[in-house]
Amino acid sequence: MHNIEPYYNWKDIYSAEEDELSPFYKRTYSEFEFSNQIYNYYIHPQWDEFGSSTMYMKILFVDYSTQFAVIELIGEWNDALHNDIMILKREIIDVLIEQKITRFMLIGENVLNFHASDDCYYEEWYEDISDEGGWIAAVNFREHVYDEMKTVHLEHYLYMSEKFSDINWRTVKPQYLPDLIEGILLKRLAPGE
Protein backbone atom coordinates (compact mmCIF):
# COMPACT_ATOMS: atom_id res chain seq x y z
CA MET A 1 0.00 0.00 0.00
CA HIS A 2 2.94 2.33 0.51
CA ASN A 3 3.29 2.67 -3.28
CA ILE A 4 -0.26 4.00 -3.76
CA GLU A 5 -0.02 7.77 -3.98
CA PRO A 6 -2.89 10.21 -4.13
CA TYR A 7 -3.46 11.55 -7.62
CA TYR A 8 -0.98 14.39 -8.15
CA ASN A 9 -1.42 15.60 -11.75
CA TRP A 10 -3.58 18.54 -10.64
CA LYS A 11 -1.01 19.96 -8.19
CA ASP A 12 -0.37 22.90 -10.52
CA ILE A 13 -4.12 23.74 -10.39
CA TYR A 14 -4.90 23.09 -6.72
CA SER A 15 -3.04 22.13 -3.57
CA ALA A 16 -4.93 21.77 -0.27
CA GLU A 17 -1.86 22.65 1.78
CA GLU A 18 -1.63 26.01 -0.04
CA ASP A 19 -5.35 26.80 0.18
CA GLU A 20 -6.05 29.07 3.16
CA LEU A 21 -9.62 27.77 3.35
CA SER A 22 -8.61 24.10 3.38
CA PRO A 23 -8.55 21.99 6.55
CA PHE A 24 -5.03 20.95 5.46
CA TYR A 25 -3.64 24.45 4.98
CA LYS A 26 0.11 24.65 5.71
CA ARG A 27 0.41 20.89 6.19
CA THR A 28 3.88 19.60 5.32
CA TYR A 29 4.74 16.18 3.97
CA SER A 30 7.77 13.94 3.99
CA GLU A 31 8.73 12.18 0.80
CA PHE A 32 10.80 9.60 2.63
CA GLU A 33 9.33 8.97 6.08
CA PHE A 34 6.44 6.53 6.10
CA SER A 35 4.67 6.93 9.44
CA ASN A 36 0.93 6.58 8.73
CA GLN A 37 -0.50 3.08 8.74
CA ILE A 38 -3.70 1.29 7.93
CA TYR A 39 -3.54 -1.76 10.18
CA ASN A 40 -0.06 -3.25 9.58
CA TYR A 41 0.52 -1.51 6.25
CA TYR A 42 2.34 1.77 5.81
CA ILE A 43 0.79 4.17 3.34
CA HIS A 44 2.39 6.85 1.21
CA PRO A 45 3.17 10.00 3.23
CA GLN A 46 1.21 12.26 0.85
CA TRP A 47 -2.14 10.94 2.18
CA ASP A 48 -3.78 13.17 4.77
CA GLU A 49 -4.75 11.95 8.22
CA PHE A 50 -8.03 13.42 9.44
CA GLY A 51 -8.80 11.47 12.60
CA SER A 52 -9.77 8.03 11.31
CA SER A 53 -7.51 5.11 12.22
CA THR A 54 -8.39 3.14 9.08
CA MET A 55 -9.03 5.71 6.35
CA TYR A 56 -6.95 8.54 4.89
CA MET A 57 -7.76 11.09 2.24
CA LYS A 58 -6.53 13.74 -0.15
CA ILE A 59 -8.47 16.78 -1.25
CA LEU A 60 -7.47 16.81 -4.91
CA PHE A 61 -9.39 19.85 -6.06
CA VAL A 62 -11.69 22.56 -4.76
CA ASP A 63 -13.30 25.28 -6.83
CA TYR A 64 -15.08 27.75 -4.58
CA SER A 65 -16.71 29.58 -7.49
CA THR A 66 -18.48 26.41 -8.70
CA GLN A 67 -18.88 25.01 -5.17
CA PHE A 68 -17.17 21.74 -6.07
CA ALA A 69 -14.64 19.45 -4.35
CA VAL A 70 -12.90 16.20 -5.30
CA ILE A 71 -11.78 13.97 -2.44
CA GLU A 72 -9.78 10.77 -2.92
CA LEU A 73 -9.94 8.13 -0.16
CA ILE A 74 -7.79 5.14 0.82
CA GLY A 75 -8.20 2.39 3.38
CA GLU A 76 -11.14 0.87 5.18
CA TRP A 77 -14.24 2.99 5.70
CA ASN A 78 -15.47 1.74 9.05
CA ASP A 79 -18.57 3.39 10.46
CA ALA A 80 -19.39 0.38 12.65
CA LEU A 81 -16.28 0.51 14.85
CA HIS A 82 -14.71 3.91 14.25
CA ASN A 83 -17.61 6.10 13.06
CA ASP A 84 -15.48 7.31 10.14
CA ILE A 85 -18.36 9.25 8.60
CA MET A 86 -18.75 11.33 11.77
CA ILE A 87 -15.04 12.18 11.73
CA LEU A 88 -15.06 12.91 7.98
CA LYS A 89 -18.19 15.05 8.31
CA ARG A 90 -17.02 17.07 11.31
CA GLU A 91 -13.34 17.51 10.44
CA ILE A 92 -13.46 17.94 6.65
CA ILE A 93 -16.93 18.21 5.11
CA ASP A 94 -18.28 20.79 7.57
CA VAL A 95 -15.23 22.98 6.90
CA LEU A 96 -15.87 22.78 3.16
CA ILE A 97 -19.60 23.40 3.56
CA GLU A 98 -18.80 26.52 5.58
CA GLN A 99 -16.99 27.71 2.45
CA LYS A 100 -20.17 27.03 0.40
CA ILE A 101 -19.00 23.76 -1.19
CA THR A 102 -22.16 21.84 -2.09
CA ARG A 103 -21.03 19.36 -4.75
CA PHE A 104 -18.72 16.54 -3.68
CA MET A 105 -17.03 13.86 -5.73
CA LEU A 106 -15.67 11.05 -3.53
CA ILE A 107 -13.19 8.77 -5.30
CA GLY A 108 -13.18 5.32 -3.74
CA GLU A 109 -10.89 3.21 -5.94
CA ASN A 110 -8.61 2.60 -2.95
CA VAL A 111 -11.35 2.02 -0.38
CA LEU A 112 -10.94 -1.68 0.34
CA ASN A 113 -13.94 -2.26 2.62
CA PHE A 114 -16.94 -0.48 4.05
CA HIS A 115 -18.55 -1.40 7.36
CA ALA A 116 -21.95 0.17 7.84
CA SER A 117 -23.61 1.61 10.88
CA ASP A 118 -26.56 4.01 10.62
CA ASP A 119 -27.11 6.75 8.05
CA CYS A 120 -27.45 9.79 10.36
CA TYR A 121 -24.32 11.68 9.26
CA TYR A 122 -24.97 10.93 5.59
CA GLU A 123 -28.49 12.28 5.97
CA GLU A 124 -27.12 15.38 7.73
CA TRP A 125 -24.55 15.94 4.97
CA TYR A 126 -27.22 15.56 2.31
CA GLU A 127 -29.56 17.96 4.11
CA ASP A 128 -26.75 20.50 4.50
CA ILE A 129 -26.28 20.73 0.72
CA SER A 130 -29.49 19.61 -0.99
CA ASP A 131 -31.30 22.95 -0.64
CA GLU A 132 -28.45 24.50 -2.61
CA GLY A 133 -28.74 21.92 -5.41
CA GLY A 134 -25.76 20.01 -4.02
CA TRP A 135 -24.91 16.36 -4.36
CA ILE A 136 -22.42 13.68 -3.28
CA ALA A 137 -21.18 11.32 -5.98
CA ALA A 138 -19.40 8.12 -4.88
CA VAL A 139 -17.18 7.42 -7.89
CA ASN A 140 -15.29 4.21 -8.72
CA PHE A 141 -15.87 2.41 -5.45
CA ARG A 142 -15.50 -1.37 -5.59
CA GLU A 143 -18.70 -3.34 -6.16
CA HIS A 144 -18.65 -4.99 -2.72
CA VAL A 145 -18.22 -1.54 -1.13
CA TYR A 146 -21.25 -0.20 -3.00
CA ASP A 147 -23.18 -3.32 -1.93
CA GLU A 148 -22.33 -2.76 1.73
CA MET A 149 -23.29 0.93 1.45
CA LYS A 150 -26.66 -0.10 0.08
CA THR A 151 -27.38 -2.26 3.15
CA VAL A 152 -28.02 0.98 5.07
CA HIS A 153 -29.59 2.69 2.04
CA LEU A 154 -26.88 5.27 1.47
CA GLU A 155 -28.13 5.55 -2.11
CA HIS A 156 -30.71 7.96 -0.61
CA TYR A 157 -27.85 10.40 0.09
CA LEU A 158 -25.00 9.46 -2.27
CA TYR A 159 -25.15 8.94 -6.00
CA MET A 160 -23.72 5.48 -6.51
CA SER A 161 -24.98 3.44 -9.40
CA GLU A 162 -23.09 1.41 -11.96
CA LYS A 163 -22.82 4.59 -14.03
CA PHE A 164 -20.59 6.01 -11.30
CA SER A 165 -18.50 2.85 -10.93
CA ASP A 166 -16.21 3.23 -13.93
CA ILE A 167 -15.60 6.93 -14.58
CA ASN A 168 -12.24 7.75 -16.14
CA TRP A 169 -11.93 10.96 -14.14
CA ARG A 170 -8.16 11.28 -14.62
CA THR A 171 -8.64 12.18 -18.28
CA VAL A 172 -10.92 15.13 -17.46
CA LYS A 173 -9.71 18.51 -16.28
CA PRO A 174 -11.03 18.94 -12.74
CA GLN A 175 -13.04 22.06 -13.53
CA TYR A 176 -15.13 19.97 -15.99
CA LEU A 177 -15.91 17.14 -13.56
CA PRO A 178 -19.09 18.75 -12.15
CA ASP A 179 -20.52 18.83 -15.68
CA LEU A 180 -19.53 15.19 -16.21
CA ILE A 181 -21.24 14.11 -12.97
CA GLU A 182 -24.32 16.21 -13.62
CA GLY A 183 -24.54 14.79 -17.14
CA ILE A 184 -24.71 11.31 -15.64
CA LEU A 185 -27.29 12.51 -13.12
CA LEU A 186 -29.47 13.96 -15.90
CA LYS A 187 -29.30 10.71 -17.87
CA ARG A 188 -30.15 8.79 -14.70
CA LEU A 189 -33.25 10.94 -14.16
CA ALA A 190 -34.35 10.80 -17.81
CA PRO A 191 -37.40 8.65 -18.61
CA GLY A 192 -36.46 5.10 -19.54
CA GLU A 193 -33.08 5.20 -17.76
Q: 45-55 pLDDT, tens per residue?
A: 888 999 999 99
* Angstrom distance (rounded) from CA 71 to CA 125: 15
pLDDT of residue 161: 85
Which of 45, 17, 88, 63 is closest to 177 using CA atoms?
Answer: 63
Work out the burial of residue 26: count CB atoms within 10 Å of its CB; fewer than 13 is exposed, 13-18 middle, 19 or more buried: exposed
DSSP 8-state secondary structure symbol assigned to residue 5: P
Length of the chain: 193
pLDDT of residue 193: 47
Domain limits, the chain: 61-189
List pLDDT tens digits, range 132-141: 999 999 999 9
Range 97-109 average pLDDT: 98
Range 179-185 average pLDDT: 94
Q: Check: CATH 2.60.120.10 for 61-189?
A: no
